[in-house]
Amino acid sequence: MFTFISFLFLTGFLLWMNTSQRITRSAKTGLVAVLSSRPVQSRWLATLLFAVALLLAVRILGTGSGIFASVVILMTAGGLTILLRPFFSTRSVLLIFLICLLLEFLFNYAGQ
């Protein structure tokens, strides 16, 4: 579940970052191009993803710990997005997400 929460924050941050006029991408294609041409809808979608991830974290960890973990995960997702975005494509991010999700399920349910 923490992988999914982290992925929601990462996706929300990427959506929010693509609405910036200061960041230019030479080859925006597909969904990224559509969402970057509609910044208001993209920011609302990013806010919705942030809210869902926050609510999931609060549901799992409790109020104080969930809010704190959400802030930490959001800051980490933002830092990793800024740092590693030039090196990774959308497919590689999805592949890393799937590998982390499989590892999370393996370690959480292997002993049962």
Q: What is the pLDDT of residue 28?
A: 61
The pTM (predicted TM-score) of the whole model is 0.84
Reported as a single tens digit per residue, the pLDDT across 67-90 is 999 999 999 999 988 888 777 777
Average pLDDT, the chain: 86
% residues pLDDT > 70 (the chain):
91
Q: What is the pLDDT of residue 58?
A: 97
Q: Which amino acid is at 1?
A: M
At residue 36 the predicted structure's pLDDT band, cuts being 50, 70 and 90, is confident
> What's the rounded Cα separation, in Å, for the pair 108 and 112?
8
> What's the rounded Cα separation, in Å, for the pair 101 and 35?
26
Q: Residue written as tokens 């499989």?
A: 102
Q: What is the pLDDT of residue 27?
A: 55
